[in-house]
Structure 1
Amino acid sequence: MKPLPHDPFTFGIYPGGMSGTDSGLTTGPTDSSQAIEHALRILQGDAPSFLVRAYIPYKSRQGAVYSTPSQPEQYANDNRLLDVVLCFQSDEEDMTGWKAFIRDTIRTYGKRLAKLQVTEEANANLPSLDGYFKHSRKALVEGIVVAKEEIRALCLRTVVGFNATPDFNPKKTFWLEIASLASPAFYDALDYVGLDFFPDVFRPIAGDDLEGPITGLVTMFRADIGQAGIRATIPLHITENGWPTGIDRTEQRQAEQLEKIIRILYRHRKIFHITHYELFALRDADSNVQDLFYRFGILRDDYSPKPAFEMYRKIIAEFTRL
């Protein structure tokens, strides 16, 4: 793949405590907005831009039930903007309520909204993720179009996209379904595709060589995007990446693995046209639970730092100085 022009590399993080598991959502201590704001300031440092990722699920025409983190707009300022993920978790086939929800969200956040992600992992068939819901692919395609219409109507600079997890299904059913549903308006509206991936977490990697597995996976993902008829030049955003701590997963190892992954992605950013990287997550859902889904944070649940917090701060400073 030929190197492509790219925008400045942008970093971000999901700052909430709640996360999805194989069976539902985590529980744990309530988010502290003061502690989150303090941590975000330290991480961003002098970087000219930084993203705060937030998730808002749509479950019915009643609209948003909650967001995580709560009231994400409180963390936005002139050079720290929002990446809002609208999750489609409904059995509705009629998209009227979903489209109204998208338009309302864009109006609510306005200029604070740098990115809008339509659906969350619509290819992942787990109860806490959108792929579990029958009409999520339709919601993805139609949602991208209506989001761009609203953004253009309001003269905003928000970019619109969707994300997916690595697809090891040789039939590539998800991507072919997107192609079958897509219209010219969808391809025109689409600004990026996001990749959620967790090397050496759910599929452990033997040894310390992460470069081959990571570049191979991103290469596969780029090919999958093409199966959906999406142009090869579309920017790729790393929308979720993390490495949890726990039994046999030390905090020092977390810092080492995450640094390796980020440096590999940054080194290959031109080849794969990667423009954004967002870490999952700022803090543990509950540091006392011996379950990897609860301990993705680079802070513990009391907001005390693990070594990975300082590592990420240094990486952001290093790569945004260049």
Structure 2
Amino acid sequence: MKYGIYPGGRAGATCSRESDPRRVGELVDELTGGGPFVLREYVHFLGTRPDPAVVASIGAAGELDGLTMPDDWYVRDGRELDLVVSYLPAEADLPGWLGFLDRVIERYADITRYLQVTLEPNFPIPLIDGSSPGVLEALIAGLPHARRALDERGHDTVRIGFSVAEPAEWLGGDAAFWQRLAGADLSVVDYVGLGLYPDAFGPPVPVEGVRAMTEHALRHLREHSLVVAGIPAGTPIHVCENGSPSLPGRDQAASLEAMLAVVHEQAAALNITLYELFGLRDADTAGGEPVGALGLVTDEYQRKPAFDLYRRIVRVR
């Protein structure tokens, strides 16, 4: 199994300070010992005339100019870039979206290994793609469009997929989403990503509860949702986002250890090939909210106990 992380310091609209590339590089090297690693990054389509306030709130300005680190960093020392193209327009805009995919591919395909088309389109909450008008059409049309654009430019080794939040009962039900995909051509899908936060945004959960919720999410995706959509068992699952906050009354390291143990136990049976943590740095350590405290280090890059845990796991491989 491959491992990775989101190296930035933003979670949606939450970000207390800009990233420090020098510290990011040092910490990633410390996690990996200089070995192979996957780095997850995000760019956002906000429509052809995006609201400047929304652009500023999620830090989307200049995303086609550069990511957290310089381009060449993502392909040195066995690193691979997992690039998410998020769909967040205020109004449905399929032509604008497909044009944006072309621009992203033109800009970043040379350094990209995995290209994710939309972010959790089954999850209808603000600043997540499932809340956006026309998101299903954007996903269904965007996947083959991205494949053609990549192939035309000679990037046939870039893997294409999409991600979802699971399981359905956490979301109020997403049966209609999977049934709609069942009628689509998904032959270009190389992987399906899972956003997994079983104990992050509700009351604290005992470790055994975290284990049970993690296994249920993984099995529900493989054994129910993907079956409904007609996505075969040979299509890998990527745990593309996983996290637990470091807040009073919570043991971040124990929760992450429990979730990772389940992922490892189920990897062969469920065809899980990649695990990525969200994320390296807190978005806002002092804010007191779960979304701001998911990092392995604080927003001032001070290590938490979970940093050492993940370093041990990554280096064992």
The residue number in structure 2 matching 1:5 is none
Say if 1:266 and 1:66 are closer, same or farther in 2 by CA, change over 3 A: farther
The correspondence of residues 225-236 of structure 1 with structure 2, limited to 5 A, is: 225-236=226-237
Task: Write the distance in 2 (CA, Å) between the matches of 1:308 and 1:226.
Answer: 35
CA distance in 2, matches of 1:42, 1:237: 23
> Any idea what SS the aligned residue of 2:285 has?
coil
What is the alpha-carbon distance in structure 1 between the residues aligned to residue 75 and residue 107 of structure 2? 15
Aligned partners of 1:11 and 1:51 also within 8 Å: yes
Q: Distance in 1 between matches of 2:129 and 2:81?
A: 21
TM-score by length of 1: 0.87
User: What residue identity is the alignment partner of 1:268?
Assistant: Q
**Structure 1 residue 119, shift from structure 2 partner:** 0.6
3-state secondary structure, aligned to 1:257 = helix
Q: Which consecutive aligned stretches of 4+ in structure 1 deviate over 4 angstroms post-superposition? A: 203-206
SS at the partner of 2:5?
Answer: strand
Q: 1:62 to 1:312 in 2, by over 3 A?
A: same
CA distance in 1, matches of 2:107, 2:174: 40
After superposition, residues 234-273 of structure 1 pair within 5 angstroms as 234-249=235-250, 253-273=251-271
Does structure 2 retain, via aligned residues, the 8 Å contact 1:197–1:241?
Answer: yes
Moved more, 53-62 or 162-171: 162-171
The reply to whether residue 28 of structure 1 matches residue 16 of structure 2 is yes
Shift of 1:46: 4.5
Match of 1:177 among 170, 175, 180: 180
Q: For the aligned residues, what is the CA RMSD?
A: 2.0
Q: Gaps spanning 5+ residues in structure 2: where?
A: 51-59
Between 56-65 and 109-118, the greater mean CA deviation after superposition: 56-65
Could you tell me whether the CA contact under 8 Å between 2:245 and 2:293 is conserved in 1? Answer: yes
Percent sequence identity over aligned pairs:
30
Count of matched residue positions in the alignment of Structure 1 and Structure 2: 299
Deviations 1:245-276 (A, max 9, x none): 11212xxx211221221122012101010000
Q: Secondary structure at the match of 2:302?
A: coil
Matches within 5 A, 1:97-176: 97-156=96-155, 157-166=157-166, 167-168=168-169, 169-170=172-173, 172-176=175-179
Q: Deviation at 1:96? A: 1.7
Partner of 2:219: 219
Counterpart CA distance in 2 for 1:58 and 1:308 is: 33
Aligned to 1:275: 273
Change (3 A) 1:204 1:225: farther
Q: Which amino acid aligns with 1:61?
A: T
Structure-2 change in CA distance of 1:16 and 1:232 (3 Å) = same
Does the aligned pair in 1 maintain the 2:87–2:138 contact within 8 Å? yes
CA contact (8 A) 2:165 2:195 kept: yes
Once residues 46 and 56 of structure 1 are traced to their aligned partners in structure 2, the CA distance between those partners, rounded to angstroms, is 26
- How is 1:42-57 mapped onto 2 (pairs within 5 angstroms)? 42-47=30-35, 49-57=36-44
1:150, CA displacement in angstroms? 1.6
Contact 2:91 2:132 (C-alpha < 8 Å) held by counterparts: no
Equivalent in the alignment of 2:300: 302
Judged with a 3 Å threshold, the aligned counterparts in structure 2 of structure 1 residues 96 and 305 are, in CA distance, closer, same or farther, namely: same
Match of 1:65 in 2: 61
Preserved CA contact (<8 Å) 2:2 2:274:
yes
SS at 1:105's partner residue?
Answer: helix
Please tell me whether the aligned partners of residues 57 and 66 of structure 1 are also in contact (alpha carbons under 8 angstroms).
no
1:152-194 per-residue CA deviation (whole Å, 9 max, x = no partner) reads 22222110000000122456111112223x12xxx22110000
One-letter code of the match for 1:15?
Answer: P
**1:11 counterpart (3, 13, 31):** 3
Structure 1 counterpart of 2:54: none
What runs of 5+ residues in structure 1 fail to find an aligned partner? 1-8
- SS in structure 2 opposite 1:164? strand
Cα distance in 2 for partners of 1:205, 1:264 equals 19
